[in-house]
Amino acid sequence: MKELNSRIDEEESDYEFIGRKYILDDDEIPFEVRMKYILKAYRKDQDKWARFYIEAKKVQENASETKRKLKEARVRIMQLEQDLKRCKQSKSQSAILESRMVSSLLSENKLSDFKSIIEKQNDYINVLQELLFKNNVAYPPNKIKI
């Protein structure tokens, strides 16, 4: 086991040496080659930034659409609140009108009851006056008629 570990360590050290051996300093790399890789990396970064920009625009459009929907929802909520307020007012007004209608119907009913009572009393008074007239008892005629 120790031998295996020592072998692995030796192989890793060989790879490090080989890796360092093939890494060149900036001075050893020709300018054209360095520029080629720099331009390649720059173009790659430009492509990434273009994709990020497109994604950002999509997110921004989605956000503006969401804001528009939210604004429409708020306007609709305000309209519904106003409709609810109007409904409550009309409901209270209809309750008031209904109570007035019932009270007017009751008053008309009472008035008709009073009129019928007055008519019956007038008929009774007329009958009594006729009885008094038949028996020759002086009594002034009824002057009040309703």
For the chain, the C-alpha Rg in angstroms (whole number) is: 54
Residue 139 region, left (φ>0) first, then alpha (ψ -120 to 50), else beta? beta
Within 8 A by CB and 6+ apart from 129, the residues are 139, 141, 142
More confident site: 25 or 32: 32
Query: What ranges in the chain are assigned the alpha helix state H?
Result: 2-22, 31-134
Residue 78 has pLDDT above 90, yes or no: yes
More confident site: 4 or 67: 67
Spell out the domain ranges in the chain. Answer: 26-134
- Secondary structure (3-state) at 23: coil
Q: How far is CA 130 from CA 65, 140, 146, in A?
A: 95, 11, 20
DSSP at 28: T
Encode pLDDT of 96-137 as tens digits. 888 888 787 777 778 888 888 888 888 888 888 888 888 887
Which one-letter amino acid corresponds to residue 75?
Answer: V
Q: How far is CA 123 from CA 114, 134, 144, 146, in A?
A: 14, 16, 13, 12
